[in-house]
Every structure is written in structure tokens, then in C-alpha cells.
Amino acid sequence: MRNGFTADDVPTQTGRRFIVTGANAGIGFEVTKVLVARGAHVVLACRDANRAEAAMQRIADEFPAADLSFLPLDLADIDQVRDAAQAVLAAPRLDVLVNNAGVMIPPKTLTKQGYELQFGVNHLGTFAFTGLVHGHVDDRIVVTGSIAHKGGTMDYSDLVASRSYHNWQRYQMSKLANLLFMVELDRRLSTAGRATQAIGCHPGVALTELTRHLPFPLRNMTPLATPFFNSAAHGAWPTLQAATGANVQGGDYLGPQGLGEISGRSGPARATRAARDPKLARELWRRSIELTGVDPGL
């Protein structure tokens, strides 16, 4: 590995099974392309069947031997998450679950169960889906964070954003929740004597579909910033390292190695003290069980 991990460092994955959530576009799509190119079977877990099928066709056009399948998964609806989990448990076991799907700074929106969309999808949906299928995963569970977690604080007093809504603050909180969940999940898996490990990652600043909700002037400026940011393909490197890297350990957090962790090859990333606070992590775990009705049993 040349001073950091890239797609070129992904080893052969023949015979291994992956689920990648949100795999129809952006980083999830790029991760899926690399995995199938290395021989893996990848399940695209996506909300929109038409977009998932179009993504599978694009991949198959490039890699005719691609081994792909589709799983309907809407992380904004816990009832549908339960249905998706049942389908996973009825299928062959998985080597790796890649929790990649998420939303970023949308207009105020609520999930089916009435929670603010970013916390509901990025954390609660991910928590519920992982909590239901973790026993079916043999190797790794990847949780996608963000450098935005560094400004995040956990505020459970208004999860439906009824008093106020600041989209960036809500995004920061959801990304802090992702890392707290990853750390606590790995601790509980280890305590339970499981070989499965939880690993965190972030893509830096990648120009993907997530930027579609940026304010109009910033959205128009993103092409000018392209030389300084990650492409979706390069932003996928930390996820690929978390999912397949040989020297990765449970609880690791990976991201770009460039200035400010914005772009570059993948390697160790810096998480805030809050993101590794065991008290905060235990409280989030407890609250997440209450809010989703899903107890991972760990």
C-alpha cells in the first residue's frame, strides 16, 4: 500500500457477500463497482427499485460478470427496515454490511415514524437495520460518518425538530451519532465474543448527490472546487478500506489523508473525544432502542 489505501489495494473478494446501502449512486455506487470487479456478490440495498436496477445495468455494462442483486430498503420507515431485514436473514450469510446510505441538509422532513429525517435515516434507520441483521454478518459492519461530526452535539429534547430546524446542525448530530453507534457496536460485539467487527469511515468532502441540497450559490460553486475535493470514486476509498483492508481493526475510523481530511488516499482519521465517549455511546444505544423498537440483543 502506497502511503494510503486506494481502490487498487482492494484484494480479491471472490466468494464474499456484501450489502451496500444506498448503492445506486455516489460513493455506494463506486464501492459496489470495485467490489464486483474483485469478484464479490453485492446486494444493492436501496429505496428506489428503478434507480437500483439502472445502477446494476450500468455496472453490468462495464463488468459483464458482475454478481448483483437488489434489496428494497427505505431507512426512513422502520417498518420497511424490518421487512428488508427479514429478507436478509432468509438469504445466505454476509461477510460485510456497508452502511453507506444517508441524507444531507434537506429541507425539514420527517420519517414515517415522525423523526427528523437526517437523524432518522442516518442513525435510527441504520441502527435498526444493523441491529436486526448483525447476527447474519460474519466479518465486518461498516458505518459511514463524516468530518461534520466534529461540530455535532447530541440533543434528544427535540428529535422531530418541532421547536427549530437548522439543517447543518441536524446533519452534524446525525454524523456524531453514527460514530458513537460504531464504537458502541464494536465494544458490544467484542464483549459478546463475536468475531464480527464494526469499523467507521468517512469520505472527506466528496462531490456526490448529497450536495444537491446545498444553497444555490454554493451548489453553483462546487464545480470550481472540484480540484480540492474528492470525486465519488476517490471518496469511496475509506469505505473500501473499512470493508476489505487487511490491517483494519474493530473500532478503527478511516478517512482521507489530505489536508483537513478533505481528500486523498485513505488511512486513519481523527474522531472527536465526544465521538468516543462511552457514556454518550451507551445513552445513544438506549435511546435508539426506545425510538426504533429494535434491540440488537448485544
CATH of the domain at 77: 3.40.50.720
Domain that holds residue 192: 7-289
Residue 208 is predicted with a pLDDT of: 60
Q: How far apart are CA 237 and CA 260, in angstroms?
A: 16
- The verdict on residue 218 lying in a domain is yes
- The verdict on residue 210 lying in a domain is yes
In the chain, the amino acid numbered 253 is Y
Residue 2 is predicted with a pLDDT of: 63
Number of domains in the chain: 1
- The verdict on residue 168 lying in a domain is yes
171 is catalytic: yes
Q: How far apart are CA 200 and CA 187, in angstroms?
A: 13
Nearest to 30 by CA among 253, 210, 239, 227: 239
**Contact (CB, 8 A) for 244 and 14:** no
Q: Which listed residue (115, 156, 165, 171) is catalytic?
A: 171
Q: How far apart are CA 84 and CA 74, in angstroms?
A: 9
Q: pLDDT averaged over consecutive 10-residue blocks of the chain (298 residues)?
A: 88 98 98 98 98 98 97 98 98 98 96 97 98 98 98 92 94 98 98 98 79 44 55 96 97 96 96 97 97 98
Torsion of CA 78, 84, 90, 91, to 10 degrees: -140
Residue 214 is predicted with a pLDDT of: 46
**Contact (CB, 8 A) for 132 and 294:** yes
Nearest to 242 by CA among 136, 124, 140: 140
- The verdict on residue 296 lying in a domain is no
Residue 210 is predicted with a pLDDT of: 47
Composition of the chain by helix, strand, coil, percent to 5: 50, 15, 35
Q: How far apart are CA 58 and CA 118, in angstroms?
A: 29
Q: What is the pTM of this model?
A: 0.93
Q: How far apart are CA 88 and CA 107, in angstroms?
A: 32
Residue 224 is predicted with a pLDDT of: 45
Residue 159 is predicted with a pLDDT of: 86
- The verdict on residue 65 lying in a domain is yes
- The verdict on residue 297 lying in a domain is no
Judging by beta carbons within 10 Å of its beta carbon (0-12, 13-18, 19+), is residue 241 exposed, middle or buried? Answer: buried
- The verdict on residue 143 lying in a domain is yes
- The verdict on residue 54 lying in a domain is yes
Pairing of strands 253-256, 266-268: antiparallel
Q: How far apart are CA 224 and CA 212, in angstroms?
A: 15
> What is the DSSP secondary-structure string of 43-108?
EEEES-HHHHHHHHHHHHHH-TT-EEEEEE--TT-HHHHHHHHHHHHTSPPEEEEEE-----SPSS
